[in-house]
Structure 1
Amino acid sequence: MASNETIMSDSDQFFEGVEKLLEIWFSTSDGNDSSDLRKIPRSKLESLMKIVRCEIISFVQNEQIDAYVLSESSMFISKRRFILKTCGTTTPLLCLQKLLLLTEQYAGFTEVEDLFYSRKNYKRPELQVTPHQDFDQEVALLDAVFPDGAAYCLGAVNRDCWYLYTLNPLPRRNRDSIVGDIEPDQTLEILMTDLDPEVMAIFTKEECLNATEATKKSGIDKIIPNMVIDDFLFEPCGYSMNGVTKNKLIEMTDGSYMTIHITPEPDFSYVSFETNIPSSSYKEIITKVLDTFLPGKFTVTVFTNQVSPTKATAQEILCLNQIAKWDRRDIQQCSFKNYDLIYAFYTKFPS
């Protein structure tokens, strides 16, 4: 998602579309059901975003989730889950200590139940701000806060790869014995590069007057229907959207969402898609996303916990050696404390 914070370097314009994704699940030691992250005041969230080097642009909500479009991507807050996804030269990990204080002071949470920090490899890492120039820097900061953290790299380190940090203490008991203590959860993320120039042109002010026109012209509104869409088209180019399910449409404890962010410039085009909506076919959703944006290559990650209704659906990724015009080049599986992960990387067939 390109914004006014386009970086100038050696007379070239560049914007790092690759996002840093931070997701934290909170809990309380006393089981206090009144604890709720949405109690954190808007003014405190705005101060938090200043640390991250971005700002809140727009807001939409349903009964389960608050969704914020940011100047650099998105933030989602539900009862006990906090998601921050930021691109450009943002510094999301620098807000961790302040966030933990706010969650205890205003939301009533005293413990971090689980944490995920992930990102694709940058196109221009030297332009990032410490501690985000290198994954080792990010891991060192996270290790200082979370003694049970573990860091991973999936994919080809010398080409396209994906970094992950999560809480992964040694299990004290069989994972299947704790399913009654957790709620269903799943996340599908698709990270795309080398995108079709004609599609990317839609997300410029030269092609579309506003975000609504770009959303409809591109077909984004048809990827997952029946969403309340909050979208924004940047000047002169770049696009962000959050979608939340209409109230009562899908029953989930912590809210269903989708989010898309687009950096359309040809030299460094990038699109991310993410959703936690359960699906009977991830292949169908992935195909819709690919048909919408036509990337040259893309990464797919699927997280499912032990009680996710899409746990079996995620397994179909293992069988997808090809998806339409795209050929799978890498696939890996990991099992963590509460979640299973599938990572896959695809490239488009030569013309």
Structure 2
Amino acid sequence: MFFEGSEKKAEITIDATQLSLLTDISDDFWPTLVNHSNAKILSSISNDQCKAFLLSESSLFVWHNRLLILTCGETQLVKAVEYFIQTLGQNVIKQLTYQRKNEYFANAQPSCFGSDIKLINQYLSGKAYRFGEMDSHHNYVFHLDNRHEATEVSYELLAYQISTSASAHLTQANLSASDIRDFLCISQILPDFTLDDFVFSPYGYSLNAIKNKQYLTIHVTPQAESSYISFASNIDLMTLAPTLLEILTPKSFDLMTFNEHEFEDKLKHHIPAQYVCKSKVEQQLNNGDLVSFTNFILPQSTYVAPVELNIAGDNHAL
């Protein structure tokens, strides 16, 4: 079974003197926004500073002055972004960042990064970058061409081709949410967080966690042929990397950070020695954000044998 776990991601910061996304927005706005991306809300948790929505494809987080939304599969996140702009207006938006990364089967997607940002650019002008090599792991980033106070620090850890044992564990029949939380050491990683999670059928898992303004979201696509597990957070995933990598032992992983000024030092201290850096780049964007990206691989001594494809099956298999 194939599923594109790779997420599209948008973060929008607004002028909080005009409105609060937590208190001034009607309850039906968020389901409508999510529906525009061809996803739906499954459940939600909240505190005084944050609302977190678990989606059929990934997650949505809302604070007083910003939102973060990630969608995976064959969703069109850009349509949700367009709905936000059309409904609340361009003038309320202080900054917008839109990301897409390399996908296992890009040909199965209803749009590409280029067409997405052309749509956004009809409303708000910006600049785009590619972080990473074109023929390897990379991440596209679009941002509005204006400066903002770049104080939010965030992290993404994206693990590919997890170990055979991890994939086998996460694709067991009748696996419960508590089983997966124990496997991922969630209680160790997220003490005192409020949790919301969901186990998909036949495979897959999503978790949202919040504590005050802090958040972490995890999305698991465990199928061996396209395994991918993502972690996105404003807590320091670089210090958690040794634990996560020991659990999953991926053949490769990406780390991407916004405004982490100790990126290089943390790589040296926290990335296990058996991983080899294949790509590393850092860029101060015009909007004020410092973006760092790196890709690590685990050197292989055995290789995948040729796989016969079903030419009568879905096009993405080809």
**TM-score under structure 2 normalisation?**
0.87
The answer to whether the aligner puts 1:275 opposite 2:233 as a matched pair is: yes
Provide Cα deviations, 1:196-226, integer angstroms capped at 9, x if missing partner: 1321333335152x21221113323322333
1:6 is aligned to none
Query: Of the candidates 100, 105, 108, which is equivalent to residue 127 of structure 1?
Result: 108
Tell me how far apart the structure 2 counterparts of residues 318 and 284 of structure 1 sit (CA, whole Å).
Answer: 9
The structure-2 alpha-carbon separation of the partners of 1:228 and 1:202, relative to structure 1 and needing over 3 Å to count, comes to: farther
Tell me how far apart the structure 1 counterparts of residues 242 and 267 of structure 2 sit (CA, whole Å).
Answer: 15
Which has the larger displacement, 322-331 or 19-28? Answer: 322-331
The structure-2 alpha-carbon separation of the partners of 1:184 and 1:142, relative to structure 1 and needing over 3 Å to count, comes to: same
Tell me how far apart the structure 1 counterparts of residues 278 and 171 of structure 2 sit (CA, whole Å).
Answer: 32
1:335 is aligned to 284
- Secondary structure (helix, strand or coil) at the match of 1:69 reads strand
1:19–1:86 contact (8 Å) kept in structure 2: yes
2:5–2:228 contact (8 Å) kept in structure 1: yes
- Secondary structure (helix, strand or coil) at the match of 1:37 reads coil
1:199 is aligned to 166
The answer to whether the aligner puts 1:157 opposite 2:134 as a matched pair is: yes
Tell me how far apart the structure 2 counterparts of residues 26 and 17 of structure 1 sit (CA, whole Å).
Answer: 28
2:195 is aligned to 229
Name the amino acid aligned to 1:97.
E
Name the amino acid aligned to 1:232.
F
The answer to whether the aligner puts 1:116 opposite 2:82 as a matched pair is: no
Which has the larger displacement, 71-80 or 198-207? Answer: 198-207
2:171–2:223 contact (8 Å) kept in structure 1: no
The structure-2 alpha-carbon separation of the partners of 1:57 and 1:201, relative to structure 1 and needing over 3 Å to count, comes to: farther
1:40–1:102 contact (8 Å) kept in structure 2: no
The structure-2 alpha-carbon separation of the partners of 1:83 and 1:61, relative to structure 1 and needing over 3 Å to count, comes to: same
Which has the larger displacement, 221-230 or 290-299? Answer: 221-230
Tell me how far apart the structure 1 counterparts of residues 169 and 114 of structure 2 sit (CA, whole Å).
Answer: 37
Name the amino acid aligned to 2:123.
V
Provide Cα deviations, 1:10-65, integer angstroms capped at 9, x if missing partner: xxx3211100001110116xx34xx2112322322112222111110111112211
Provide Cα deviations, 1:152-209, integer angstroms capped at 9, x if missing partner: 111110122111111234x6xxxxxxxxx8373100101111111321333335152x
Cα distance, 1:92 vs structure 2: 1.0
Cα distance, 1:330 vs structure 2: 0.9
1:75–1:83 contact (8 Å) kept in structure 2: yes
Tell me how far apart the structure 1 counterparts of residues 292 and 150 of structure 2 sit (CA, whole Å).
Answer: 20
Runs (5+) with no aligned partner, structure 2: 302-318
Q: How does 1:281-300 map to 2 (within 5 A)?
A: 283-300=238-255
Cα distance, 1:284 vs structure 2: 2.1
The structure-2 alpha-carbon separation of the partners of 1:285 and 1:112, relative to structure 1 and needing over 3 Å to count, comes to: same
- Secondary structure (helix, strand or coil) at the match of 2:170 reads coil
Aligned-pair identity in percent equals: 26
Runs (5+) with no aligned partner, structure 1: 1-12, 172-180, 248-254, 305-310
Provide Cα deviations, 1:48-88, integer angstroms capped at 9, x if missing partner: 22211111011111221100110000000110111110000
Name the amino acid aligned to 1:36.
S
How many pairs align?
A: 299
1:321–1:327 contact (8 Å) kept in structure 2: no
Q: How does 1:26-105 map to 2 (within 5 A)?
A: 26-27=14-15, 31-32=17-18, 35-38=19-22, 39-103=24-88
Cα distance, 1:319 vs structure 2: 4.3
Provide Cα deviations, 1:239-278, integer angstroms capped at 9, x if missing partner: 0000111x5xxxxxxx11000001111100011001112x
